Amino acid sequence: MDSLIGRTFVISGMTIEVIADDGERYETRNATTRETIFFNRAVLENAIKLGKAEEISQ
């Protein structure tokens, strides 16, 4: 999968921006609360593939 860094997604009602790739996980920032959230790489990529996470174009 292409690099997700800099992309913004809506997943589970949250708008998140991928800010870093840490090998096995992505560091993301919740756009509303500005809280840092870590997603397992496989979980986020599968959510995107299955349509559970939707990319927001800027």
Q: Mind listing the pLDDT tens digit of every residue in the chain (58 residues)?
A: 578 999 999 998 999 999 999 889 999 999 999 999 999 999 999 999 999 999 998 7
Dihedral, CA of residue 58, residue 46, residue 12 and residue 32, to nearest 10 = -40
Report pTM: 0.84
Query: Would you state the pLDDT for residue 57?
Result: 87
Tokens 């991928």 correspond to 18
Q: What pairs with residue 10 in β-bridges?
A: 15, 54
Q: Is 3 contained in some domain?
A: no
Query: Please, are residues 31 and 17 in contact by the beta-carbon 8 Å criterion?
Result: yes
The parent domain of residue 32 ranges over 8-56
Is 2 contained in some domain? no
- Give a yes or no: residue 50 inside a domain: yes
The pLDDT value given to residue 1 = 59
Query: Would residue 33 count as lying in a domain?
Result: yes
Question: How many domains is the chain built from?
Answer: 1
Q: What CATH number is attached to the domain comprising 13?
A: 2.30.30
Residue 1 lies in a domain: no
Residue 29, in any domain of the structure = yes
Residue 53 CA to residue 23 CA, distance in Å, equals 20
